[in-house]
Amino acid sequence: MTAQPKVTLTRERVVAEAVALADESGLGSLSMRALATRLGVEAMSLYHHVRNKDELLDAMIDVVFGEMHPPRPRARWRPELRRRSVSGREALRRHRWAVGLMDARRTPGPASIAHHDAVLGCLFAGGFSLVAAGTAFALLDAHLYGFLVQENALPFETEAELADIGAAIIGPEVRAAFPHFTRYAEERAMQPGYRFADEFERTLDLTLDAVASLR
């Protein structure tokens, strides 16, 4: 009988597989037992690498922050912060489970802290005061995380799916009672080529205009 090869675990592999599991099935599917099964080990083996699920979540959020562009203090602040938000949206589209957890950890990891340090350093170098930097950071995060909450929750992905939803919602009664909603849906949202995702960079530029006014 051929012996099964021994599974070699590292902290990095444990965290990477936890991220992959959450990406595939949502955060509700993540447990130490489920992760151990995925890795082909006993659950107790995981505790040699992470003390508990909270520490695992800290490390998973660190992975997501590590995928976001860290603004460079010596570069122009606006392009750097724009790139940070665009890369943040890309990361949070890959890891939809992470949106509500990004700044919710009591013990953030080194990548999380480094990212916050880079954003603040870029704002300070760009001429923002302590107060203005805090306000700017809050505004940028409100735009990024708020947009992703809405985008990830949309009940459609294709034009055809949106058209089906619109057709089901907008009948004679809705058209008569809610003319503004109907107009936007029929003349804008349900037109060929419309993508809600296109609103991200448009609203980001408006957000950066507001940030600029704080300097």
Q: With 0-12 CB in 10 A as exposed, 13-18 as middle and 19+ as buried, what is 158?
A: exposed
Stretch 107-133: mean pLDDT:
97
pLDDT for 58 beyond 70 = yes
Fold classification of 69-212 is Tetracycline Repressor; domain 2 (1.10.357)
pLDDT for 121 beyond 50 = yes
Closest by CA to 136, choosing from 151, 121, 149, 148, is 121
> Can you identify the CATH homologous superfamily of domain 11-50?
Homeodomain-like (1.10.10.60)
Distance of CA 111 to the CA centre of its chain: 15
CA dihedral (5, 8, 13, 14) positive or negative: positive
Residue 4, pLDDT score:
52
Residue 6, pLDDT score:
63
Which residue intervals of the chain bear CATH 1.10.10.60? 11-50
Tens of pLDDT, residue by residue over 71-106, are 999 899 999 999 999 999 999 999 999 999 999 999
Stretch 55-68: mean pLDDT:
98
Q: What is the mean pLDDT of the chain?
A: 95
CA pair distance 187, 164, nearest whole angstrom:
15
pLDDT for 203 beyond 90 = yes
pLDDT for 205 beyond 80 = yes
Which residue intervals of the chain bear CATH 1.10.357.10? 69-212
| Entry pTM | 0.91
Secondary structure (DSSP) of 35-75: HHHHHTS-HHHHTTT-SSHHHHHHHHHHHHHHTS----TTS
CA distances from 28 to 12, 32, 46 (A): 21, 12, 18
pLDDT for 56 beyond 50 = yes
